[in-house]
Chain A
Amino acid sequence: MMAPVLERLPEWVNADAALVRRGRYLSTTFLVEIGETSWLVSVHAGRVERVERGPFLMREWAFAIRGSADAWRRYWEPVPAPGFHDLFALTKGGHARVEGDLQPFMANLRYVKDVLTLPRGRV
């Protein structure tokens, strides 16, 4: 059930003009880990160009957001419970980690959080 979720990001993000505009200065690739499965999300000027499923042998990414499958499942519930309603709630609770080059992550924080919240209520 989890697998197709991130693969739908290009469709969801690129149809959202306000979101694409918000991310217009971001071009990067970041890693999202859902349990044992890794995904590389490639963004160009706010549009999600590509989502690839791992495992990867030798690929670059700027920053990584890693969480358990259960953490993401609860994060994407229509009305998430306290502690599972925000990326930083997940990290503080030990359910997720953010790693790597944090400058593009923090400089585009609202965009990144909005992109990763798109599956909420849709999965």
Chain B
Amino acid sequence: MAAEYEPIVGRYLRLDLGGRRHRLYVEEAGEGIPLVCLHTAGADNRQWRHLMTDAEITRLFRVLAFDMPWHGKSLPPAGWQDEEYRLTTHDYIDLVMTFIRTLGLERPVVLGCSIGGKIVLELARLHAPAFRALVGLESADYQAPWYDDTGWLHRPDVHGGEVSGAMMSGLIAPQSPSETRWDTLWMYMQGGPGVFKGDLHFYRADGDFRDRVAQIDTGQCPLYLLTGEYDFSCTPADTERTAAKIKGAEVTVMREIGHFPMSENPAQFRRYILPVLEAIRARG
């Protein structure tokens, strides 16, 4: 019997970020319009595995997803052992733009979720002509915190992986299938110490874009925002409030979905993302 390989290929990409050498783990599948997928805080590119094995998508799109530095199979940069990891807007923009430049991707689509959905808003504001379209999942210019202290995620008397998984379990819709729910939580349980917390510095503090999203010009690049109804971290109301400031932004509220659409319930997410990707393809 032939070995059953998935069509996803994983490689390591060498690039410089902030003047430091990095080795980024990248997966890709498909051919066509480049579609760069950004994972959520404290997770990794495995969240996109269902999208990357969907022939409806990969026959038209070259889907790429990297693990951010410190996440998944991308190591932290040399010297990390004496540093506190903290993601900033500046570093995140630099990461995405450097990745696209290094691979020579021409006018890609960027599809990001949570922190990835949030950075899409800054990409739209600062670099619109570089993209064919931008898609933010669970994306808002700001979202009120749902717990006081992210310090719980990184302290010696609480297991970081266990507590991260237990926190995130609530952001998954009750309808999501057991297998993909627990896949999603496993990624949170596997995160390195302090990494999820470091990402949340961007999500909760540095990435407050309330003063600037009105500058986004969707005439230069279409912007689609899709949020799950069960997401109480970035709520549909947060996304709608954000979109109300951006002329031309298209909002969809996804039923029976929480904070991790592509990962927690790929079949349900597919119903929402396929029409968006088709609209992007049709626009050229």
Contacts and interface: CB of A to CB of B under 8 A. Distances in A.
A113 B162 CA distance: 13
A109 interface: yes
Interface string B142-170: 00101100001000011100110111011
Given A92-B144, A103-B157, A110 B162 contact: yes
Contacts of B167: 88, 109
Contacts of B129: none
B196 interface: no
B158 A110 contact: no
B232 interface: yes
Contacts, number: 52
A56 B162 CA distance: 33
Contacts of A88: 146-147, 167, 170, 232
Given A91-B146, A107-B157, A86 B165 contact: no
A113 B163 CA distance: 11
B13 to A, nearest CB: 35
Contacts of A110: 162, 165-166, 169
B173 interface: yes
A4 interface: no
A80 interface: yes
Given A91-B146, A103-B157, A83 B166 contact: no
Contacts of B175: 79
Given A85-B230, A88-B147, A93-B232, A109 B171 contact: no
B170 A89 contact: yes
Interface in A68-123: 79-80, 82-83, 85-89, 91-93, 102-103, 106-107, 109-110, 113
By CB atoms of chain A within 10 A, which of B158, B230, B232 has the most?
B232
B163 to A, nearest CB: 6
B174 interface: yes
Contacts of A103: 157-158
Contact of B169 (A80, A102, A113): A113
B264 interface: no
A86 B171 contact: yes
Contacts of A109: 162-163, 166-167
A79 B255 CA distance: 13
A82 B152 CA distance: 25
Contacts of B146: 88-89, 91-92
A53 B248 CA distance: 56
Contacts of A106: 152, 158, 163
Given A80-B174, A93-B232, A86 B158 contact: no
B207 to A, nearest CB: 19
Given A85-B174, A86-B232, 14 more contacts: A79-B175, A80-B174, A82-B232, A83-B232, A85-B170, A86-B170, A88-B170, A89-B146, A89-B232, A106-B158, A107-B158, A110-B166, A113-B166, A113-B169
28 contacts: A82-B229, A82-B230, A83-B232, A85-B230, A86-B170, A86-B171, A87-B170, A88-B147, A88-B167, A88-B170, A89-B232, A91-B146, A92-B144, A93-B232, A103-B157, A106-B152, A107-B157, A107-B158, A107-B162, A109-B162, A109-B163, A109-B166, A109-B167, A110-B162, A110-B166, A110-B169, A113-B169, A113-B170
Q: Which 4 A-B pairs have the closest CB atoms?
A: A86-B170, A109-B166, A110-B166, A92-B146
